[in-house]
Structure 1
């Protein structure tokens, strides 16, 4: 879906976490489509700032900061991406991750509620909510989530989704929830604890260092380029406000690839002689993950890239 914001008058969008990996790509996509874009992030600037974006250093947990921005700039929509997205970091410090993942979400919702005009609220959730439900190798629909979570991160995302649902129901906040699967693309820092397996394996391959595969690399994942993610997110702004009803939408490719297949692809594309080292399964690891993307296709016209090898070639060469 292509959209020019100028067609419906200038609209202003606030992105929390706008200096991060996905946030930077979303800034670029929205600017390209004619929106006024504000980024609120603890970082000053991303490594490659997007021209036209107003970068603001601040904390999404500070109510006055968020409320002031929404009012001063007459913000039409908020994409709440700011979060601690590393499962190990959430496990290590559940109190701090609760603050960054739960308190920040509640704070931004409350700031939206206090505005005179409705502010649309889009939330970045996670496929972590499905837990091991995908171990049957079936596609995961939005209607099913795990009865029990294996990480604080998943529990915090689930609680955030429920808060959004209530704010939508009781305070009429227009909201949508997007569950991201395994996102990859340019600008993902391989040294960051937030980086995915593609970025990590790519760095190891280029350095000709061993790649460690847990459980023989039999786990399967649904890998989706960040460009497809932000295109779908931007498309949501085309929906009429009544469609922003706290609905949950999977954002994945709808195809699965084993981690071993991924490692072999990356070795081939980079011409690396990195060895592959097998290691025992890690406790809590999900074996299989595949998105059911029918809802994203229907609502957003989501047509993701399915040729992972081709996209990796573009990314790595």
Structure 2
């Protein structure tokens, strides 16, 4: 059955791709988005992401911190997909008030509206959570079994010891796939705000008898992601460096890794959550289930672009960054039948082909690095 679906942050990377796929499936889409300069550039009206859906959705330019914008957006909707958020892990450590205001207060406003307006027609909420809520994630200690390490210590990393330690005996721990039952203990303000969003929606949804589905997305990438945002998206940041002929500085020892999941796989998983009742009141990891380290990322991009830029492994590190993480997909495969289709090799090829068709963006990476150094967050 076709639904009226509101996507907040629907002009962003995931939101735009989701909107286009939902429209193809016959759903009617409304987008609430503030067209942030950090994502859409200095002239948002010319943003490729914005223009992809401009004439296909009911677009409302507004801010999730504004109650009136929410009231306008929620009217006559049946499903809310809440993507609107500030998303930079490093940036969150010094723009604390902004991240808290947008991510937590923005979520609180619409839940408050639903709690106090008995005439609304909302039937389901889908909330974008994040793998960042797991902090360092799930590990195994040879002595103590499954453990959930706390954040790595600055004193160790200053000695180039970037390994994750058992929180009981301080020995090096062995990485495991992180499942949904793993301990929630974020190590960044961004991760904390995503945990709060997820918990608030789940608690309010159960109280109001509105089904909620939370997706803990891993590192999402693909054609269409912002190439001008120096705060988030390592593939975009490295690509913009390469296209500008600038060398790449790789943090730590280059072996830190992430689970990179292709945009269409993320869209497919999200649609399953929207359309399947079996997803209701559940949280799901969305990833590829495979870890890829930063050295592999840099080398793959340089090869795809046939570039002669160099990379160096500097030993720099950011406070709040995790070492490794990859998703255990057992639950989402079992409940929703989700299985990622695009592996990293193919996804990188598609991404790089798209980047090469775009206008080269200004490289603002050094500005973001200077900000973190100034705040004492980059060592």
- 1:298-309 → structure 2 map (5 Å cutoff): 298-309=334-345
Corresponding residue SS for 1:14: strand
- 1:126-205 → structure 2 map (5 Å cutoff): 126-134=130-138, 135=164, 136-147=174-185, 149-205=186-242
Match 2:283 to one of 248, 272, 291: 248
CA distance 1:269–1:199, shift in 2 (3 Å): same
**Paired residues of 1:112 and 1:119 also in contact (CA < 8 A):** no
Corresponding residue SS for 2:84: coil
- Work out whether 1:13 is the aligned partner of 2:5: yes
Distance in 2 (alpha carbons) for counterparts of 1:315 and 1:54 = 28
Distance in 2 (alpha carbons) for counterparts of 1:111 and 1:66 = 8
The alpha carbon displacement at 1:281 in A equals 4.3
The alpha carbon displacement at 1:194 in A equals 4.4
Q: Which residue of 1 aligns with 2:357?
A: none
- Work out whether 1:64 is the aligned partner of 2:87: no
Corresponding residue SS for 1:49: helix
Distance in 2 (alpha carbons) for counterparts of 1:142 and 1:14 = 26
The alpha carbon displacement at 1:112 in A equals 3.2
Once the two structures are superposed, what CA deviation does each residue of 1:229-248 show, in whole Å capped at 9, x if it has no partner? 111111212212x7422x21
Q: Which residue of 1 aligns with 2:315?
A: 280
Mark the runs of 5 or more structure 2 residues left unpaired by the alignment: 36-43, 139-163, 165-173, 354-379
The alpha carbon displacement at 1:207 in A equals 3.0
TM-score norm. by structure 2 comes to 0.76
Distance in 1 (alpha carbons) for counterparts of 2:293 and 2:342 = 14
The alpha carbon displacement at 1:306 in A equals 4.9
Alignment: residue pair count: 304
TM-score norm. by structure 1 comes to 0.90
The alpha carbon displacement at 1:99 in A equals 0.9
Once the two structures are superposed, what CA deviation does each residue of 1:120-171 show, in whole Å capped at 9, x if it has no partner? 1111111111111245321001111344x32111111112222122112222
Distance in 2 (alpha carbons) for counterparts of 1:269 and 1:193 = 21
Larger Rg: 2
Distance in 2 (alpha carbons) for counterparts of 1:280 and 1:214 = 5
